[in-house]
Structure formats: structure tokens, C-alpha cells
Structure 1
Amino acid sequence: MSRSTTYSIYYKPKSLRIELIQNEDSTFQLSESNSEKSEKDIIINSIPNFLQNKVYIIDSINSGSGRLKKNIYTEIIDPLFSLLDINHEYFKTTSPNSITDFASNFKDENSTIIFLSGDTSINEFVNGLSTKNKINIYPIPCGTGNSLALSLGLTNQLQAVAHLISSTKNSPLYTYEIELPSNSYYLIQNEPKSKINKPLKFIVVFSWAFHASLVADSDTPALRKFGIERFQIAAKKNLESKQEYEGDLKINNEIIKGPFAYFVITSAQKFEPTFEISPKGKILDNDLYLIAFKSGLDIMEIMMQVYDKGNHINNSNVIYKKIEKNDKIELDIRNSKELNQRRFCIDGSIIALPETENHKITIKIKDDSDLNLYIIQ
């Protein structure tokens, strides 16, 4: 039985029928014909406005796995855009700093950036921007962490391409701010890299404890080849040691005492197609939710409840709390000499706090008046 996937598009101005196909071996192909439209076709009467302005495609080539075998850009997007007369510039990453450098020099107004990546690349772009010009952003899920795309209902690459050229709406892309202690730094494969000298923005997730540890420990060449399964491998490894992270969370005048085993603040509903971390989460709303629980609980039992349509929020041991716009949020970290105690995940990037005894982190919901970012939905 064939497991190929096909999306059929009928482009009315040219009376052109286009099929986007992913074969059962995961390779892509595009076919075109002047045949009549069918009931199952996605009808395109005109090209969306956001694809008529300046369009860039950023291809984060190291995101995900198996990208050389299934090249969505060369096999689908480039020929499709040629057929539809959509002009664009293609930018392929060549180093860990490629996207940050691209963003820091970006000045175009009313442009659209299409990402072939996961969440981390989009975060790098947002944090690297120095312009306040209007920018539309669209994710085509090619990474192992595709929570932004999942939150928009985009579950695979072909669907995302088909939706892009048929969409007519965009919404503000909300960002949230983290103030870190001075001398914090990025970790890549648990090795210290560049220092962080300003507050960081995140779109999808800020996490600590078990979640941050499994993301950090899965970021090795040996594990990345397993795709999304690398998180399960890293999770099992982490569970061999006690998951106890010392710190307290303060929301306004309420103090939630640690130690924690799991700590996530997110705007998203899902981290994986079936991993419903925040059932009430809506990426298009300016809302955050805290999902946390203390040490000493069966972590995997609660994780299975997450996979069970987000049933963990009914567990009395799980803290599930909406963070309001004007809330003051502070995380006090104690006894943070050990590296795993001071690692944090920000949209898939791992940062580490300096090796001192105690730290304070502040999380803010901003009004985004300093940015003019929109998400194509």
C-alpha cells in the first residue's frame, strides 16, 4: 500500500494544475499539467499579497535530519514559485552565525521570510533583528522542534507549502523577553560559545530542569541523526539521575517553591504532533502558560499524560497556570554550581548561566511595540 502524499493546486490565472508529491521513500516531486480542476484541488485565484513583495527563503540546512535526501526547496518550492511567477531570494546557512548575521543586516520593509527550519532558526532571526520594519514570517517545518508550525496547524512540509500560497491572513507574532544574569552564554553541544549581552526574546518556549536538559543533551552529532527520537534517547539518559533543580518561582506576590523536576513557560499548544503540553495555549494570542511539577514524582507517568491529549493538566501534582500580561515573573536559582542546574532552553537554543551560587531571571510579556513582526496563518 502506497504511503505517498499529494496536494493538488489549481492556479486559475494560468489554468494550471500542479501536484506536490512526497513519495513513500520521503523524496519530493512536482508535476504540472493543463488538465481540468478537480473537487479536491486547492484553488488559487491570485498570489497572496505577502508573496508579491520582497520574499526571502532561509534554509537552515542542519535542521532536522535527512535533508539531503528530501530537499523541499529544490524539488518543490523553487519550481512551484517559478510556475507562479513568485520572485524570491534563497539564503542557505553556512555557519552557526549565518541567520544572526543575515538578520542584523536586514532592512527591507514589507518583506516575507520563509523559514525551512525548526523553531531555533526563527528565534535566531528575531533576536538578531535591528530593524522595526514590517516583516511577515512563515515556518515550513524542517527541524526536530517545530512547535511554531504545529501551533498554526502545519504538520508536514508539503501541507505548509500548499497552505502558504493559499493563505490570505496574517497576525502579530508575539515575542516574550528574558532578562538573564550578566555573563550568561550560549551552549552548543554543551560547549560554551558566545556571551549574551542583552535580553533575549522567545516565541515558543522558555524551559529549565528536565525539559531543558533533554534538549541540551540531545544536541550531539550522534543523536541528531535520529530526528525527533533523539529527545526520547536523551530523556532516558537524564532519568538515570535524580531530577532535582533548586529554585523558586515568583509570580507577583505568589511564590511557588522548588525544587522542580519540570519547568516550562510556553505560548504553544504542542511541542510534537501528539505532545500537547498546553491544551489552552494559542500562539496567536499574547498569552503564556506555566507547566511545572516538583521533584520526587514519576516524570514519565506525567509525560504519558501529556501525550494523552494533555491530560496532565488534570493531575493535582502538575502546576498549570496562565501568566497574564502585567504579571511580574522572577525565577530564583539556587546552588547552581553544576552545569545541568543552570542550563535553560529558549526556543531550542541552550543557554547557561555563569558559575556562581545564586541567580535571578525575569520573564516579561511585552506589548511588542518595538517589533513589527507578523505570522502568516
Structure 2
Amino acid sequence: MAVPETFRFKDEQGAEQTINEKDLVAVLPGSHGSPSTIIYVENNEKDDAAPPKVNIIKGEASPTTQPPDTSDSETHIIISTGSGTNKATPFYDQAVKPVLETLFPKGNANFLVHHTESASTIEELTTDIFFPTANAGIALRLILLSGDGGVIDLVNGLLARPCSSDYKAPQVTLIPLGTANALFHSTNAGKDNTWGLRTLGSSTAKPLPVFTTSFSSGARLLVDEARSEEELPKDPKSQRPILHGAVVCSWAMHASLVADSDTTEYRKFGVERFKMAAKDALYPADGSPPHPYSAHISIQKGEDWVRLKAQEHMYVLATMVSNLEKPFCVSPATKPLDGSLHLVHFGPTTGDEAMRIMGLAYQGGKHVEDPAVRYEPIDGLRIEFQGKEKDARWRRICVDGKIVRVEEDGWVELGKEERRVLDVVVD
């Protein structure tokens, strides 16, 4: 095991202190010879899922951060109260707010704070405030305490209408307080342990790669734990139902376990909910083998489409990120925000074999080396059901955690989105 790099400083009493460099948020210079301000976190060694404690002290250390000037931008803080295991509000009060007050002693008074009140709050904020601001060419900085769902709501809201030539992509700082936080873990790539706090003082941002999924006309978005359905937004030109994503579009086992675990009861278990749902799907109570999912699949390479010979499948996933969870590396060839799209696929098999293959993803993505797995870069993916699946359960598509049910003879197609809609702040 590699020895962690350390960061040394002297506290106000002159005693030398040593911390893991990955726990350092920032060192700010003092004024007129006064001590520096050192911000770092203490992580809970017994519980990886517990947010860290923030320490802000005076001491001697070389400055590491020059916070960006916020005077010419508008800053909004979005606290997704229901994300993950409901830790966003206390983490804001105990960590994010004091760090922002330290980094921006003057500017933080002008930051606008929004608490989500429903599943549609972020979409409404985007429609009413964020898009008009960005479309007017005003610099916009968003601090998002949420999971991947918050990002997908921003992306879909910003792409819902044609933009002007003045449009300026907002910058979003990710504070990972959802269940899996795939985008954060893929972007951060283990660089630090500060839960996004280090990026609060960064002025560097990179474009967020996005894909667009289009559906046949009868596709519906499932909401309220699949008790209700809604029409999807429509593409202004083609009038096809569409959803935009930045993480994953999947069908078959992955989509089923995300959909089946998206309940109040399952969400209590945090990221463990996915493993629990996987066991339920792979080992049916009646002792039967896992369901073999049936459809025609085509992949796009450049301008050409190629149909796969197999018509039965178990795992079909296209992704723009490396990690679906912090330890679950689904696409090891993907680099942070590189814009690539990769397919991960394997066919029908036993529950034990499926668990073995997916278990390899927890070993740095070794599943892609398994001969049963098809893994390759693609430019697009199309799934056509053609009446092969009578039961609607087997026609659910997952787009960044949102679940869409496609009709019996329906289809879904995805490809890369060329528009620059949102930038991600990086360290």
C-alpha cells in the first residue's frame, strides 16, 4: 500500500502538525504578516459514508489557494435536502458554509442559497433563474450539494430551450451528497478526501461531456417510485421524447436494479441498496435463473452502425464516466471529463457468474478483461425491442438514475451532445 503524501504546518502555538495531503482544503495567506489560515478535514475512519469534519485554524504554512474573484459573477448554492441519506443540509451548515465564509469573507454575503422542496425544484430554478442568467452572458457559479440527479436536472433544464450567442456555460462545483455520486468520483478520481470542499477555492473549470437519448413516441418517465408516469420533454426539431445525461444510459440488469432500488425503503441503505437489489434480481425467489433480456442492439462507430448478433442480454450500459460508485470502476479507460463514450456488455448467465463479473469492477475495473465482457469506445447506441419483451419491467431504461419505460415495439437511441452547456469546477 502506498504511503500517503503528508502536509506539514505549524499551529498557532508553534507546534508542528502533520496531516494527509488529501485532507487539505486550502491554505490562505494572512494579511500584513499575520498567520495563514489553514482549512482541512478529518474523515471518519470507521465510516467512509460519513461526511468529514472541517477544521479552520491559524498557523504557519505556504499558501495553496487564491480564491477566484466573485465580484463579476452570480453565485448560487443549491442544497438538495432529499439526496442520498439526507445529509446535505447539515453538511452545508457544518462544513460548506464556514469554508465559504473563510474563502470569501466579503463576497459570501451575496451568495444565494436554495433548499430543494420537491423533486422538481432544481428544474424550476434552472428554468426561472439559471438559464436566463447564463443566456444573457452573465457568469454563473453553482455550488451543488446533491447527487448525480441534481446535475442531470441542471443539464436538462439548460438544454430545454435554444440558447443565444451570448450564452455562457455556468460553472458547477460538485459536493457529493447523493447515493453513488458517479460524476464526482469520476471527476475527482481519488485526488483528495475533502468531499469537494477543495474545489470551492478553485478557478479552473472544464466542459461537462453530455449525451442525448431519444425515445420512441410512447416512452414515459416513471416517477413517484414508478406509481406514476409523465411525458418526456420533446426535441424542438424532431418532436421525439428526449433526455440528456452525463453519466450513464443503461438497459437490462443495471437499469432494473437502479429502478427496483429507488424506493424509500431501499434508500435508507445508501449505496448498499444497489447490491441488495442486484441479489434480488439475480436470484429470483422462485429459484429460476435471471431474466434474459431480449432486444436488437446496434452500436455506432463514426458514421457507421453495426447490429450485434446476440439478441439476448444481461448487462447493457453506455457511460461517459469511469466510476459509478467510488470503488466501482465500470470503465477504466475513461479519463476525467474526456468526452468518451464506452459500452459495457455481457450476455445471459447465472446469478453467480453475473456477481463474479461485476465483482471484478470493484477491483479497479478488471471485469473489462474478462472474455465474457464486451468493452469498447462507441459513438452511439440503439436498442430496439420489436415486441420481444411483453412485460414492461424488462423495457426500463436508466438515464443518470431517471427511469424511462419504453413501449413494446419501442426503441431508445443515444449519442454525444455537441453543445457546451455546463462546466465542472476542478482542482
Q: What is the TM-score of this pair, normalised by structure 1? A: 0.88
> CA-to-partner distance for each residue in 1:36-67, whole Å, 9 max, x for gaps?
227xxx722x2125796211111111111151
**Which has more radius of gyration?**
2
> Does the alignment pair 1:294 with 2:347?
yes
In the alignment, the residues of structure 2 paired with residue 187 and residue 205 of structure 1 have an alpha-carbon distance, to the nearest angstrom, of 17
CA distance in 2: counterparts of 1:57 and 1:91, whole angstroms: 6
Bigger shift: 298-307 or 180-189?
Answer: 180-189
Kept in 2: contact 1:281–1:287 (CA 8 A): yes
- Structure-to-structure mapping, 1:97-246, within 5 angstroms: 97-105=120-128, 106=130, 107-108=132-133, 109-129=138-158, 130=161, 131=163, 132-153=167-188, 159-188=194-223, 189-198=225-234, 199-241=242-284, 242-246=290-294
Of residues 352, 359, 362 in structure 1, which corresponds to 2:410?
359
Distance in 1 (alpha carbons) for counterparts of 2:349 and 2:53? 50
- Unaligned ranges ≥5, structure 2: 1-19, 235-241, 285-289
Identify which of 398, 403, 418 aligns with 1:350: 403
For residue 27 of structure 1, report the CA deviation from its aligned partner. 6.4
**For residue 65 of structure 1, what is the aligned residue in structure 2?**
85
Aligned identity (percent) is 28
Partner of residue 321 from structure 1, selected from 376, 379, 397: 376
Q: Distance in 2 between matches of 1:154 and 1:77?
A: 21
Compared CA separation, residues 320 and 30, structure 1 to 2 (3 A): closer
Q: In structure 2, do the counterparts of structure 1 residues 227 and 156 end up closer, same or farther at CA, with 3 Å as the change threshold?
A: farther
* Structure-2 residue corresponding to 1:373: 422
Taking a change above 3 Å as real, the CA distance of residues 34 and 304 of structure 1, as seen in their structure-2 partners, is: closer
Q: Which moved more, 1:12-21 or 1:72-81?
A: 12-21
C-alpha separation in 2, matches of 1:372 and 1:278: 24
One-letter code aligned to 2:349: G
Q: 1:337 aligned to 2:390?
A: yes
Q: Give the RMSD, CA atoms, in angstroms.
A: 2.6
Whether 1:250 and 2:298 are equivalent positions in the alignment is yes
Distance 1:272 1:329, change over 3 A: closer
**How much does 1:192 deviate?**
2.4
Residue 75 of structure 1 pairs with residue 82 of structure 2: no
Q: Deviating runs (4+, > 6 A) in structure 1?
A: none
- 1:126 and 1:12, CA in 2 relative to 1: closer, same or farther beyond 3 A? same
> Which residue of the other structure, out of 236, 261, 265, is the alignment partner of 2:318?
265
Alignment correspondent of 2:237: none
1:11 to 7, 25, 28: 28
2-side partners of 1:125 and 1:36: how far apart? 41
How far off its partner does 1:134 sit?
2.0
CA pair 309-80 structure 1, distance change in 2 beyond 3 A: closer
**Equivalent position to 1:37, from 55, 58, 61:** 61
- Greater displacement, 272-281 / 157-166: 157-166
Matched residue, 1:94: 117
Deviations 1:46-98 (CA, angstroms, capped at 9, x unpaired): 21257962111111111111517x82110111122122224321111101111
What TM-score comes out, normalization by structure 2 length?
0.78
Label 1:219 to 1:180 Cα distance change in 2 as closer, same or farther (>3 A).
Answer: same
Aligned residues: 363
Offset of residue 124 of structure 1: 1.1
Query: Contact between 2:24 and 2:198, CA under 8 Å: does it hold in 1?
Result: no
Segment of structure 1 superposing worse, 357-366 or 11-20? 11-20
